[in-house]
Amino acid sequence: MAAAAAAAEVSNRSVILKRHVTGFPTEDDMELVTATVRLAVPPGSAAVMVKNLYLSCDPYMRSRMTNHKEPSYVPDYVPGEIIPTFGVSKVVESGHPDYKAGDLVWGMTACEEYTLITTPESLFKINHPELPLSYYLGVLGMPGLTAYAGFFDVSKPKKGDYVFISAALGAVGQLVGQLAKITGCYVVGSAGSDEKVNLLKTKFGFDDAFNYKKEQDLNAALKRCFPEGIDIYFDNVGGQILDAALLNMRLHGRVAMCGLISQYNLELHEGVCNLACVVTKRVRIEGFIVTEYFGTYRKFEEEMVGHLKEENITYVEDVAEGIENMPAALVGLFYGRNIGKQLVAVARD
């Protein structure tokens, strides 16, 4: 029995948050540590022990690195503890009747090689292992459901709508654009490099795109791209682009507030000056949180799998190899270094 227990002890590298962050995060705000873990669940427990295959890097994680005076919608990360994140994992031991060793799952795990998940009811079994497993952190995971819910439920598109998407080559934006094209909309995206702009127009079928870093006047850029105005603005950025978009909204336009990546690293957030447009143009601005839509996940999954298999939708990922590269991959999000959905491959099987 002792030999079996010894055999179950394995090395477990993890990434911890060293301190709460102000301003832009750095790799030094995190630390790679090594411990050991026994690949077992406590007797009588309904937990599952998983081997993490892929870990997700998402913009919302920056907010959790802050020490908020007022509670946020998700708890702040705790300095000295392993950073939680979404992951694709393989069950190695289970005390839960719905899971067995070998099952592939995705859901909230932690930045480490092995994780004991004490609330496995929060996990989703992977129904389509014939597709790349990494897709369950992107097009078939939280970002995909974010795009789907934010576009169809919040934005309420109609064929012929004029749609603008900021951070359009991100994990969410690239999908919103393609869903909008499938719906019959005119789609323009903004991104932070010429390479990304070219991908939006050539690979993802956007009608137009522009590099916001090269535009002296964002209002003029949007007027150039939308001479008749914008029906739907899917906002991943906030700040100056949101302000410019409000000037260009059409009557009864909709703004889906998905994220504010331009603001996450600022100690003093930028204000919005053009709110009068919301009144005069009767614009609806609505924020949303994807976890409220997790109950619709299976319907979304099957629809998106259909699009992928019919090649109606494509997806671009930026994969860093090895858990030791998690800090650099996460920090890179806030400098626009990633091309597409950023994730980390921890293990391939």
Q: H or E segment at 287?
A: strand 284-287
- In this structure, what DSSP letter does residue 181 have? H
- What Å distances lie between residue 53 and 14, 89, 92, 174, 328, CA to CA? 13, 5, 12, 24, 18
Q: Which residue has the tokens 């974010």?
A: 146
Yes or no: say if 64 and 74 are a contact pair by the CB < 8 Å rule.
Answer: yes
Q: How many CB atoms lie within 10 A of CB 121?
A: 10
Quote the pLDDT of residue 3. Answer: 37
In a domain, 210, yes or no: yes
331: tokens are: 């920090």
Quote the pLDDT of residue 264. Answer: 84
Does one domain contain both 34 and 133?
yes
In a domain, 180, yes or no: yes
274: tokens are: 């053009």
CATH code of the domain containing 250: 3.40.50.720
Quote the pLDDT of residue 9. Answer: 93
In a domain, 207, yes or no: yes
Within 13 Å and on the Cβ side, how many CA atoms surround 325? 16
Does one domain contain both 134 and 167?
no
Quote the pLDDT of residue 179. Answer: 98
In a domain, 30, yes or no: yes
18: tokens are: 């060293």
Yes or no: say if 267 and 237 are a contact pair by the CB < 8 Å rule.
Answer: no
User: For the segment 99-141, what is each residue's pLDDT rounded down to a tens digit?
Assistant: 999 999 999 999 999 999 999 999 999 999 999 999 999 999 9
Q: What's the mean pLDDT in 293-311?
A: 97
Does one domain contain both 7 and 75?
yes
User: For the segment 200-253, what is each residue's pLDDT rounded down to a tens digit?
Assistant: 999 999 999 999 999 999 999 999 999 999 999 999 999 999 999 999 999 999
Quote the pLDDT of residue 116. Answer: 98
Quote the pLDDT of residue 197. Answer: 98
User: For the segment 246-292, what is each residue's pLDDT rounded down to a tens digit?
Assistant: 999 999 999 999 999 888 888 888 989 999 999 999 999 999 999 99
User: For the segment 185-203, what is each residue's pLDDT rounded down to a tens digit?
Assistant: 999 999 999 999 999 999 9
In a domain, 308, yes or no: no
Does one domain contain both 102 and 206?
no
Asked if the model's pLDDT at residue 7 lies above 70, the reply is no
- What Å distances lie between residue 278 and 147, 163, 240, CA to CA? 23, 17, 16
Residue 34 lies in domain:
2-138+316-345
User: For the segment 312-337, what is each residue's pLDDT rounded down to a tens digit?
Assistant: 999 999 999 999 999 999 999 999 99
> Sorting pLDDT into bands at 50, 70 and 90, what band is 25?
very high
Does one domain contain both 160 and 258?
yes
Does one domain contain both 164 and 283?
yes
Last residue of a domain, one of 291, 307, 335: 291
Quote the pLDDT of residue 301. Answer: 98
Quote the pLDDT of residue 2. Answer: 40
Does one domain contain both 127 and 34?
yes
Does one domain contain both 130 and 23?
yes
In a domain, 143, yes or no: no
Does one domain contain both 134 and 10?
yes
- For 186, left (φ over 0), alpha (ψ -120 to 50), or beta? beta
> Sorting pLDDT into bands at 50, 70 and 90, what band is 77?
very high
Q: What's the mean pLDDT in 79-91?
A: 98
Does one domain contain both 287 and 171?
yes
Quote the pLDDT of residue 90. Answer: 98
CATH code of the domain containing 97: 3.90.180.10
Task: Give the total number of structural domains in the chain.
Answer: 2
Does one domain contain both 224 and 333?
no
Asked if the model's pLDDT at residue 1 lies above 70, the reply is no
In a domain, 297, yes or no: no
Q: What's the mean pLDDT in 25-54?
A: 97
Q: Which long-range contacts (CB under 8 A, 24 or more apart) does 194-199 make?
A: 195/339, 196/168, 196/169, 196/339, 199/169, 199/316, 199/339
Does one domain contain both 170 and 252?
yes
User: For the segment 142-174, what is each residue's pLDDT rounded down to a tens digit?
Assistant: 999 999 999 999 999 999 999 999 999 999 999
d(CA 246, CA 228): 13
In a domain, 54, yes or no: yes
